[in-house]
Structure 1
Amino acid sequence: MNYFIISQDERIFDAIEPTGVSQVITREQMEEEQLRKMDKLILQFSLKEKTTNEYVDFIQRPIPLLSDQCKQIIEKYVPHMYFKSVVLVDRKQMRQDVYWLIAPPRINCLSDESEFHKDGTIKRLVIDEQKAISHKIFRIDGILEDYILISLDVAESLLRRNFTGIRLKKVEKEGVYER
Structure 2
Amino acid sequence: MEYFMLTQNQKETDGLSFIDMPNREWLGKLKSETPAAFYVRSTEMAEYSDYIERPAVFISDSVYRMVKKYDSTVKLGSAVFIDQNNGDQRLYWSLENMEGNSACISEESKRNKLEFITQLILDAREIPNQPLFRAVHGQQRFTIMRLDLAESLLRRGVCGFQLQPVAIVRGEH
TM-score calculated relative to the size of structure 2: 0.85
Percent of aligned pairs with the same amino acid: 27
Q: Which residue of 2 aligns with 1:50?
A: 43
Secondary structure at the aligned position of 1:96 is classed as strand
Unaligned runs of 5+ in 2: none
Q: Deviations over 1:36-61 (max 9, x none)?
A: 5xx67641111134353211211111
Report the more deviating stretch, 83-92 or 99-108.
99-108
**Matches of 2:120 and 2:87, distance apart in 1:** 42
Aligned partners of 2:83 and 2:89 also within 8 Å: yes
Specify which of 52, 55, 63 is matched with residue 70 of structure 1.
63
Against the structure 1 CA distance between its residues 42 and 137, is the aligned structure 2 distance closer, same or farther, given a 3 Å change threshold?
closer
**Matches of 1:125 and 1:169, distance apart in 2:** 10
Unaligned runs of 5+ in 1: none
Q: Quick check: 1:111 aligned with 2:109?
A: no
Aligned partners of 1:7 and 1:167 also within 8 Å: yes
Q: Which residue of 1 aligns with 2:11?
A: 11
Q: Quick check: 1:96 aligned with 2:94?
A: no
Secondary structure at the aligned position of 1:141 is classed as strand
**Matches of 1:150 and 1:45, distance apart in 2:** 26
Deviation of the 1:96 alpha carbon = 1.4
**Matches of 1:52 and 1:92, distance apart in 2:** 13
Report the more deviating stretch, 40-49 or 71-80.
40-49
Specify which of 165, 168, 173 is matched with residue 163 of structure 2.
168
Aligned partners of 1:15 and 1:56 also within 8 Å: no
Deviation of the 1:19 alpha carbon = 2.8
- Aligned partner letter, 1:91: Q
Q: Report the structure, 1 or 2, having the larger strand content.
A: 2
Provide the aligned length of Structure 1 versus Structure 2: 168
Q: Deviations over 1:109-134 (max 9, x none)?
A: 11111121112211221110121052
Secondary structure at the aligned position of 2:78 is classed as strand
Specify which of 3, 22, 25 is matched with residue 23 of structure 2.
25
